[in-house]
């Protein structure tokens, strides 16, 4: 545990030095407890199998803009991840793949990134230390803005400039997992990337670093027939903060349900009073695990999340919806090797 504590301390200290103060730009998901591969590259391969996960989220369903701008729609996000254990270094290496599409008004973001993690066996658990790298592509629909002064030089420059840019992106993470609990910390966007779209760099959009922390603990009740898993998730860029706390109940390893509370707090600009604004959600989750595989675990997971906004409902509708689908396949390099027989030693029974 001392080694783990030192690694976590060094990692968090490094993040504090790296994180600037800008608004959060990453997509948010309510299935955070089943989406560790998206948030933390240290999770790659820790399950010991090959898992594919897809999540689709429609935020503030039914939202309609009060203006005629075509980009006045609510955020839509979709993420697909893959995680597998590799045969290298005595099966202590994992790999992962992240694909993200996120649409927020006139800005569409696409990410494609590869993760690699090395696993340290410590007592009953594993510590995954991972790095992730790839590209982040942003497309700006400048004609979607409802502009008051169309002769503004910045707007005219934006209209005539390239509408999309692709930049490199880097993330790192630590993920500690045991049969009972898990703890993870990670950070993304180390490169300090700026999206200028051909205009003055002094007013460019900078991709701020984000830090994530997650934890959960499983209690076995009724002889293991019922499992109770309290969990927590934290996200920040040092200026905006999102907290999630909740619990999941699983029955017979097949059916699960849970509830979480999300609170997002953002610091206002000094010109707006220098105070804070908050947004609160209650999240309800249900799902099931199906299709037992040869290892005795469920290969297919289907989940649904319903968000209800309880405060901060200005300029948005109150409900968001999220669907998750996850599937595990056997890793070809982890399968048992077939028995090879030769005519010389083979005996047939007649």
Question: Does the residue 342 lie in any domain?
Answer: no
Q: Which carries the bigger pLDDT value, residue 268 or residue 265?
A: 265
Strands 255-267 and 240-251: antiparallel
Q: CB-based contacts of 329: which residues, under 8 Å, 6+ apart?
A: 49, 50, 52, 299
The token pair at 245 is 């706390």
Q: Cα–Cα distance between 201 and 190 in angstroms, integer?
A: 19
Q: d(Cα 224, Cα 200) in Å, to the nearest integer? A: 61
332: Cβ contacts below 8 Å, ≥ 6 apart? none
Residue 317, helix vs strand vs coil:
coil
Retrieve residue 177's tokens. 């997992």
Q: What share of the chain is helix, strand, coil (3-state, %, to 5)?
A: 15, 50, 35
Q: Is residue 20 part of a domain?
A: yes
Output phi, psi for 34, to 5 deg. -110, 15
Regarding predicted confidence, which is higher, 287 or 309? 287
For 141-165, the pLDDT digits (tens) are 767 666 777 777 767 666 766 677 8
Q: Specify if 341 maps to a domain.
A: no
56 near 322, Cβ under 8 Å? yes
Residue 214, pLDDT above cutoff 70: yes
Q: Does residue 337 lie in a domain region?
A: no
Look at the chain and report how many structural domains it folds into.
Answer: 1
Return the higher-pLDDT residue of 39 and 314.
39
Asked if residue 320 belongs to a domain, the reply is yes
Look up the pTM and report it: 0.81
Element (H, E) at 251: strand 240-251
Contact 130, 116 (CB under 8 A): yes
Q: Is residue 12 part of a domain?
A: yes
Gyration radius of the chain over CA positions? 23
Using CA atoms, how far apart are residues 93 and 87, in angstroms rounded to an integer?
7
The token pair that represents 249 in the structure block: 């109940």
Q: Can you tell me the distance from the alpha carbon of 152 to that of 257, in angstroms, rounded to the nearest whole number? A: 52
Instruction: Name the average pLDDT for the chain.
Output: 80
Q: Tell me the per-residue pLDDT of 6-30, one tens digit each, with 9 for 90 and over.
A: 443 333 333 333 333 334 578 889 9
Give, in order, the Cα–Cα distances in Å from 74 to each of 60, 92, 107: 6, 42, 12
Q: Is residue 275 in some structural domain?
A: yes
Structural domain boundaries, residue 269: 2-329
Task: Give me the CATH number covering residue 282.
Answer: 2.40.160.40
Decide if 343 is inside a domain.
no
């Amino acid at each position: 545990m001392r080694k783990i504590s030192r690694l976590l301390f060094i990692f968090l200290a490094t993040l504090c030095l790296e994180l600037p103060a800008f608004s959060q730009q990453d997509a948010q998901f309510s299935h955070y407890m089943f989406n560790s591969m998206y948030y933390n590259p240290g999770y790659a391969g820790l399950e010991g199998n090959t898992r594919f996960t897809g999540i689709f989220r429609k935020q503030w369903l039914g939202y309609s803009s009060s203006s005629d701008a075509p980009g006045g729609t609510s955020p839509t996000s979709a993420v697909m991840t893959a995680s597998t254990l590799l045969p290298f270094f005595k099966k202590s290496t994992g790999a992962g793949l992240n694909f993200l599409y996120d649409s927020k008004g006139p800005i569409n973001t696409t990410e494609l990134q590869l993760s690699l993690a090395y696993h340290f066996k410590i007592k009953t658990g594993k510590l995954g230390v991972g790095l992730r790298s790839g590209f982040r592509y942003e497309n700006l629909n400048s004609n979607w803005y409802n502009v008051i002064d169309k002769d503004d030089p910045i707007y005219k420059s934006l209209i005539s400039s390239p509408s999309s840019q692709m930049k490199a992106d880097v993330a790192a993470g630590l993920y500690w997992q045991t049969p009972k609990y898990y703890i993870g910390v990670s950070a993304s966007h180390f490169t300090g990337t700026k999206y200028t779209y051909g205009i003055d760099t002094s007013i460019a959009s900078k991709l701020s670093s984000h830090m994530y922390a997650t934890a959960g603990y499983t209690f076995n009740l009724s002889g293991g027939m019922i499992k109770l898993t309290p969990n927590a998730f934290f996200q920040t860029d040092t200026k905006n903060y999102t907290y999630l706390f909740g619990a999941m109940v699983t029955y017979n390893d097949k059916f699960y349900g849970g509830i979480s509370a999300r609170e997002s707090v953002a610091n206002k600009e000094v010109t707006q009073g220098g105070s804070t604004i908050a947004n609160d959600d209650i999240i309800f989750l249900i799902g099931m695990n199906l299709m037992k595989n040869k290892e005795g675990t469920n290969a297919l997971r289907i989940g649904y999340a319903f968000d209800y906004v309880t405060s901060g409902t200005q300029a948005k509708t109150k409900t968001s919806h999220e669907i998750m689908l996850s599937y595990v396949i056997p890793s070809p390099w982890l399968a048992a090797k077939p028995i090879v027989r030769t005519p010389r030693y083979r005996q047939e029974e007649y």
